[in-house]
């Protein structure tokens, strides 16, 4: 898996594989400082140079850990993306408090400034407007103009939108000049929602696409009855489909995670896949899966079973 060239609206190369840091912020279960440091070291050792984070990941903890623990690899600074639109309001004792939405220019700037402080950086490569599904008027009036100005000022290099639903995300791409989008969970072996509108639109506009949630919250990493599917306990039908997908992969001695990670990159509009990892072992396993050879015949079999859209194999 090689990096793509800088194309479309992005002024830099977006690595094909990135690390999502929600688990390092304690998503689902706490992660200790040593474990987080080992995970980030494993990522840089594996040649991974893209890291995605957000203030909401552990109430700033994920950003703080990136700032403390992530060093440039080989003298080249990594690609960093963070998010905005939500402000952290700690309690008087300094412990995490509430998270409030704020799409005003002042709120956007305050959010970014706090992120830069936690990250120990003077700028970031990508700033995503985070989960703006229900705020189109606010995005139009204040938030998007604000991030345009931040880009003009050099505090960010690219404007993005990060969401879990492809329909609203496509609407933003159609209305605004968007450099990059992050779509989570809607383009996987089990969910092709992004294929109908978002991906063709991004191909037309030159908007880069980052895909997260390729395991659909864990089911495609380990199809077991206790797995999560889109942040909820797995339904019986989804478990059955995931096990069918795994069985097809096993016929070709391909680990299911390898097919899950590499599937989104079959679409020409997809530039990068971001994987949430909480340990060095997970980082190493996912990096190996991203490189694992997947034969064309397996993709054809998966297409025949409905896991891969036929149009991606033309």
Q: Does the pTM of the predicted model rise above 0.85? A: yes
Amino acid 73: pLDDT? 47
Residue whose structure tokens are 């120990």: 120
H/E run at residue 18: strand 17-20
Domain containing residue 247: 17-313
Amino acid 95: pLDDT? 79
Amino acid 93: pLDDT? 83
The 10 Å Cβ neighbour count of residue 154 is 9
Do 277 and 43 meet the contact criterion of CB atoms below 8 Å apart? yes
Q: Indicate if 57 belongs to the active site.
A: yes
How far apart CA 122 and CA 306 sit, in angstroms, is 46
Amino acid 5: pLDDT? 47
Q: Cα-flanking dihedrals φ and ψ of residue 167, to 5°? A: -65, -55
Residue 1: inside a domain? no
Number of domains in the chain: 1
Amino acid 78: pLDDT? 92
Instruction: Name 280's bridge partners.
Output: none
Residue 157: inside a domain? yes
Residue 143: inside a domain? yes
How far apart CA 224 and CA 228 sit, in angstroms, is 9
The enclosing domain of 44 has a CATH number of 3.20.20.100
User: How distant, in Å, are the alpha carbons of 1, 74, 119, 129 from that of 66?
Assistant: 24, 17, 6, 20
Residue 47, phi-psi category: left (phi > 0), alpha (psi -120 to 50), beta (remainder): left
Q: Which of 50, 57, 128, 172 is flagged as catalytic?
A: 57
Taking only the tens place, the pLDDT of each residue in 114-161 is 999 999 999 999 999 999 999 999 999 999 999 999 999 999 999 999
Quote the tokens at residue 271. 């530039």
Residue 5: inside a domain? no
Residue 3: inside a domain? no
List the pLDDT tens digit at each of the 314 positions of the chain: 555 445 578 999 899 999 999 999 988 899 999 999 999 999 999 999 999 999 999 999 999 999 998 865 445 689 999 999 999 998 888 777 899 999 999 999 999 999 999 999 999 999 999 999 999 999 999 999 999 999 999 999 999 999 999 999 999 999 999 999 999 999 999 999 999 999 999 999 999 999 999 999 999 999 999 999 998 999 999 999 999 999 999 999 999 999 999 999 999 999 999 999 999 999 999 999 999 999 999 999 999 999 999 999 97
Residue 9: inside a domain? no
| Residue (of 53, 12, 64, 9) closest to 212 by Cα position | 53
For CA atoms 306, 309, 311, 314, the dihedral sign is negative
The 10 Å Cβ neighbour count of residue 183 is 26
């Amino acid at each position: 898996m090689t990096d793509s060239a800088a194309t479309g609206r992005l002024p830099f190369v977006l690595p094909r594989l990135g690390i999502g840091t929600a688990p390092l912020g304690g998503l689902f279960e706490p992660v200790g400082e040593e474990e987080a440091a080992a995970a980030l070291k494993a990522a840089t050792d594996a040649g991974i140079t893209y890291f995605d984070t957000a203030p909401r990941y552990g109430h700033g903890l994920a950003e703080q850990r990136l700032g403390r623990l992530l060093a440039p690899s080989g003298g080249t600074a990594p690609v960093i993306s963070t998010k905005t639109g939500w402000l952290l309001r700690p309690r008087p004792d300094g412990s995490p408090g509430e998270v409030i939405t704020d799409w005003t220019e002042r709120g956007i700037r305050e959010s970014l400034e706090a992120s830069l402080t936690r990250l120990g950086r003077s700028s970031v490569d990508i700033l995503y407007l985070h989960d703006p599904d229900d705020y189109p008027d606010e995005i139009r009036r204040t938030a998007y103009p604000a991030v345009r100005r931040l880009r003009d000022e050099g505090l960010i290099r690219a404007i993005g939108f990060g969401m879990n639903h492809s329909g609203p995300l496509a609407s933003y791409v159609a209305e605004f000049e968007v450099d990059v989008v992050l779509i989570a969970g809607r383009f996987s072996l089990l969910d092709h929602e992004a294929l109908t509108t978002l991906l063709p639109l991004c191909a037309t506009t030159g908007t880069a696409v980052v895909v997260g949630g390729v395991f659909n919250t864990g089911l495609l990493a380990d199809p077991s009855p206790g797995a999560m599917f889109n942040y909820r306990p797995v339904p019986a039908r989804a478990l059955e489909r995931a096990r069918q997908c795994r069985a097809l992969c096993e016929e070709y001695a391909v680990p299911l995670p390898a097919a899950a990670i590499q599937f989104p990159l079959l679409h020409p509009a997809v530039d990068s896949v971001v994987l949430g990892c909480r340990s060095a072992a997970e980082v190493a396993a996912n990096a190996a899966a991203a490189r694992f050879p997947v034969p064309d015949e397996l993709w054809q079999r998966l297409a025949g079973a409905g896991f891969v859209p036929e149009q991606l194999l033309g």
